[in-house]
Structure formats: structure tokens, C-alpha cells
A and B are shown apart, each in its own frame.
Chain A
Amino acid sequence: MTTQAKPEETAAPGGSSSFLSVRDLSVRFRTEDGVVRAVDNLSFEVERGTTLGIVGESGSGKSVTNLAILGLHNPANSEITGSIKLAGQELVGAPNKELEKLRGHTMSMIFQDPLTALSPFHTIGAQIGETYRKHTGASKKEARDRSIEMLTKVGIPQPTTRVDDFPHQFSGGMRQRAMIAMSLVCDPALVIADEPTTALDVTVQAQILDLLKELQQEMGTAIILITHDLGVVAKTAKDIMVMYAGRAVERGTVREVLKAPQHPYTWGLLSSMPNLTGPVGVPLRPVRGTPPSLINLPTGCPFNPRCDHLEQVIGGKCTTERPPLAPEAGHATACHLSSGQKQEIFIDQIQPRLG
């Protein structure tokens, strides 16, 4: 790891003006079994008014990355290195008091499961209003009015009475809307949505995504959308980052990555998606094997035990050398295959499968 070049360090592709700029972020957890490298040398940018979709399997480091941005990891058992800059302000190592002021105000998070992520003991209005009062110093009355306004905005019917309801009196979709209202109450410049639609059925899912998009257009919010659903990303994001074993393996615009994916893992993800317009009865092709242990990663490319294209790489570099994410800007992959090979494999073998 130390011998490997870090191209991101020398030149930032998006320039230092990026609204959110994550550089060489590593998150490690000390556990009884050893050190878990949940995120390893990750760099990315998000601009205002755009959405970055982060996709990957469970345990690929998506959520850990974003909890690190908010500074929600327990410092007692985690070690965070690298740099996270939000509008120029360094967040790694920032005092907790500073982070408290930013959380919910400048950056906020929409959690995956709105039933467990909302407090069962406080009314929806209290939970939304509390954030507003904390960051703006508003009175109880003002906070309540603001809560009602936010509930109206996210499409909760009868917001003036619903504001006094408890989360258990809301349906799943309404809870997620309330969650969104809560995270947007201070007009944050960055919203991290951690699988915001996973717990919802598909029709509600579409509504929630549309809602996020509308709010983004209205307020110019930067959104990081964490998901393992490529369909969701295709619908909402501008850029995609595919993560595997705590690293970015492919990065580019939605069009680039979904229309012409270059990394074997992305191919695997796309092939494992059911195709509604394709012939019925064609079996899905899951990525074989299981995600590696983050305590003891395979040497070389961490994807090598699951990759079908090892033999095509000259010199067997896949098991000895970790491929860097290249090129520095634009559509990039971390794979030893040459770009010609990638092109060829994708067109010959992968594209026909995707239909």
C-alpha cells in the first residue's frame, strides 16, 4: 500500500474548489480479530447541485465513508486519516463542537430505515423542530411552523395535525418523507442519503427519489446517494462511484459507467440485475464468490478471487499488484486490463447479456 503511487494527491481532478472534497480517506476499526480497513485511500468530489451515487455490495465501505464525513464514528475504536473538506473546511480531526454545528445544518443524513432511525418517544414535529432550533436558535413556535412547512414540502397530508403524531402513526413512506423533512429543515448544502429507498416499495421509492430531485433543484443541494440499486442511481445521479472492499474501483458519469462500464466488478453488478424487457427464464448472473474480509484482504487487486479475467492480464499482476484508479480525471477504473481489452470484453461478452 505504501509503495503505491497516489495520483490523487498531486492533482485534484475537480480542482480544490469542489464543494465536498474527500482525499485519501482511510477508516480503520480496531476489533478483537484485527484491524478492519473499512475504507482505504478513497478520494472523490461532489459539486453543489449534483448527485454522486455510491454503489457497491454490503460491506464495501459506502456507509462507513459517509458516517466519516459526518464524523459519527466512535473515536475510541476507529482511526480516520486523510482529508475531508466541506466548503474548504477540514472535517477530519475537527473538534466535536464544530462538527455538531455542521451536522444537521450544513450537512445532513437521511438514514436507511426510517422506523428505527426516528425516535419513537418524540413527535415528528419535535424531531424536525429540534434540529431547527438547535441550529437557528428559533423559538418553539417558529420551529413548529417550520416543521409544518417542511412536512408540507415533502408532501405529508394534513401537516398541521400530523406534526404532532409519533413516528409509529406514520406509514413507511411517510416516515421516510418525515426523515427527509428532518434532514432538510436547515437547508443543508450537502445531503447524504444512505439507501433512502431500500425499506420502501417501488412506487413509494420513485416518489421519494423525485422528491429529493425536486428539492435539489430548488435549493442547489449536493447529494451523495448511497445505494446498491443501480436503477436508482441511473434515475437520479450525475456521477457514479463503484466501491469494492473499501476502495473506488470505477468512477465516472452515470452515462459512462452504466453504458460502457470498464471494471469486471461493475460488469458483475450490471449482469446481476434483472432485465424487465429481456427474455423470461434467462438466469441472473451473480458475481461469484463473496466479498473479501476487510481484515485480511487478498494481495494485489482485492477483486482477483472473484474476477473472470485474470488470465488476460500480462504478467499475472492481479495477484501481486494493486491497480490504481486511473486516469485521474474522467471515467476511471482500478483494473490491470488495458483499455482496449476492457472495451473488447465489454462489447463481446458483457453487453449481449445486459440486453
Chain B
Amino acid sequence: MLRFLVRRSLGALVILLIISMVTFALFFAIPADPARLSCGKVCTPENLALIRHSMQLDQPVPLQFWHWFSGIFTGRDFGGAGYCNAPCFGYSYVKQEMITNTLIDRFPTTLSLTVGSAVIFLIFGIGTGMLAANKQGKPADKIASSASLIASSLQIYVAGPLALWALVYSTNWLQLPAYVPITQDPIGWFTGLLVPWLVLSLIWTANYTRMTRSSMVEQLSEDYVRTARAKGMSGRSVFLRYAWRGAMGTIVTVFGIDLGVLLGGAIITENTFGLQGLGQLSIDSIRQSDLSMMVGVTMVAATLIVVSNIVVDAAYALIDPRIRLA
């Protein structure tokens, strides 16, 4: 297991290095001049040259990349803007902020949103899916299956405003979405995020219901499940100890990847509810052509996905003894 983790972590570093090079190349080397973008409306050539020099854009691209890359490990000095401590992802001339600070500032919102809705959709998705698989072909299964089909075809920008209208504006049952740090006010944190959690988890619950149901149904028809019944195991034991055990692998795999994606920013949900998380940050930086910020967000999102992939593989080995890690 240790060897696996070391090997995969090294592999992950290589992948992240490649991703960073590609994003850096795409955002810095190919499109519009970042210096002109941060130069303002009245831009004299002298001014532009000055900015370009301070942003080190007059240097060759590989050297720029090196400055950026080494900054992640050693920190970097941005002259007038101050010193950026490691891990330094650069400086946003648009926001006039160190990118690392912005990321640290925004991540808790996304993390709270993700963890809260993941708890909801795992409990309800897997629960409903198992119920449907257990009552296969009966009314309960048909209701659960159709409901999840409808819910999974909903879009957050439809369900979100609807939920706001139904739960907040017209009834005042729940609070308007807002992010309050859990350390400051746990109750405020909970009530402020409840509507986004419900809306985001509605669609994911539907997906997990369908996935759980289909993998349970598949497992229940496996030969080894029949063997367990032929041994006299009770229906409950067959369902949980055998079929669920087999279905777990699929669900853990998909969940790991989904978690990585969600942690990189639930763009539409954050946008719909005005939450200032990583997703909203990435949209804002695209709108404002804040290229260095986009590189920073991309790197964080990529890292989260790569790491969750490793965790998934390790978890899979724990679930399925046939998988050997080396």
C-alpha cells in the first residue's frame, strides 16, 4: 500500500506538472496580452512597457513559467504588490490580490457546499437506490426510478430559483443562501447553506439512486449471490453482505471522482445562489480575463481531481481483494 501511494503520488506530480505547463501555455503564451488587459483605458506605450516589465512578460515564456513554477515552492517577490509566500500561484493584477490568498479565502465556501450536499446525496441516493433494488419491479421501485429520472434531468438553474421561490421568498421557511464560516457561527453556516445543499443534492441524489439501483440489481443476479441464498443466508444478509459489497466498488469509484469535481467548484450552483466559492471565482476570472487567477483555479481543481483519483484507487483495493496495488 505504501509503495502504491508513493508511486501514485509521484505520478500525480508529473501529471500536475504537465497540466500546469499546458494551462500556463494556453493562458499566457497564446491569447491576448495580459499587460494590456491590466493597463486600463488610457494606455500609453510607455505605461504598457512598464507593466509588461513588472509582470515579467518581456521575458521568454519558459522563463516566465519557471518563475511561476518555482514560486509555488519558494515564494515570489512582486515588488510593489508585496512578497508572495510559498505556495505562491502568482499575483492577480485584476483583483490586486495574491492568488493563493484568494484561493484560501474562497475554498471553505466550496468545501462546505460540497461536503454538505455530499452527505445528503449519499444518504438519500444510496438509500433510495437500495430500496428500489430491493422492491425491484414493485410500485416503490417504479416511483423511485421515475422520480430520479425527472430529478436528474432537472437543471440547477431551473431547480435553484424554483427552490428559492418555494422555500424562501414565498414561504420564508428557509434563509436566503449566504456563506458564514462554520468557525464563526455554526448555525448560521448550516441555515445559510441549506437551500444550496438541497438543490445541489437533488440532482446528485437522483444520479446516485439510479447508479445504486442498477449496480445492486446487477449484483443480485450474480452467481455468488445465488450461492449465498443456497447456503441459507437470510435475505437481509444476502442483500447487505453480498450484493451491497459488490455494488460498493462502483459507487465509491464514481463518488471519488465526483467529489474531486465538486471540490473544484460547483460553478452553476455557486452562481445561482451567489456563493463566492471556487466555481464563482473561475467564472469571474474568465469574465475579467484574469489569466493568472484562471491558472491558479485550474491548478487547484486539477490537483483535487488527481488526488481523489488516488484515494479512489486505494479505496477500491480495500473493497475488492482481487485488486492488488503495486
Report which A residues bind B (CB closer than 8 A): 70, 72, 76, 96, 100-105, 108-109, 111, 113, 116-122, 130-131, 134-135, 166, 168, 182-183
Contacts and interface: CB of A to CB of B under 8 A. Distances in A.
Interface residues of B, number: 22
Interface stretch (B57-65, B232-240, B305-313): B232-240
A103 B230 contact: yes
Contacts of B235: 96
A103 B322 contact: no
B223 A108 contact: no
Question: Chain B's interface: helix, strand, loop or mixed, by majority?
Answer: helix
Interface string B204-244: 00000000000000000011101111111111000001100
A168 B321 contact: yes
Contacts of A120: 224, 246, 320-322
Interface in B6-20: none
A76 B235 CA distance: 15
Nearest to A121: B245
Contact of B230 (A111, A119, A121): A111
Interface string B302-326: 0000000000000000011110000
Contacts, number: 71
B49 to A, nearest CB: 66
Contacts of A72: 226, 229-230
26 contacts: A72-B226, A76-B137, A96-B235, A100-B232, A100-B233, A101-B232, A102-B232, A103-B231, A104-B232, A105-B232, A108-B230, A109-B230, A116-B222, A118-B224, A118-B227, A119-B227, A120-B322, A121-B242, A121-B245, A121-B246, A122-B245, A131-B232, A134-B232, A135-B232, A166-B322, A182-B227
A73 to B, nearest CB: 11
Interface of B: 137, 222-224, 226-235, 241-242, 245-246, 319-322
A168 B322 contact: yes
B233 A116 contact: no
A13 B178 CA distance: 82
Contact of A117 (B227, B234, B245): B227
A117 B231 contact: no
Contacts of B319: 121
Contacts of B232: 100-105, 131, 134-135
Contacts of A131: 231-232
Contacts of A130: 231, 233
Nearest to B321: A166
A134 B224 CA distance: 17
A134 B238 CA distance: 13
B231 A108 contact: yes
Nearest to B322: A168
Given A70-B230, A103-B232, A168-B322, 14 more contacts: A100-B233, A103-B231, A108-B231, A111-B226, A113-B223, A117-B223, A117-B227, A119-B242, A121-B242, A121-B245, A121-B321, A122-B241, A131-B232, A166-B321
A189 to B, nearest CB: 14
A-B pairs, top 8 by smallest CB distance, nearest first, are A104-B232, A103-B232, A104-B231, A116-B223, A119-B224, A131-B231, A117-B223, A109-B230
A102 B223 CA distance: 20
B227 to A, nearest CB: 5
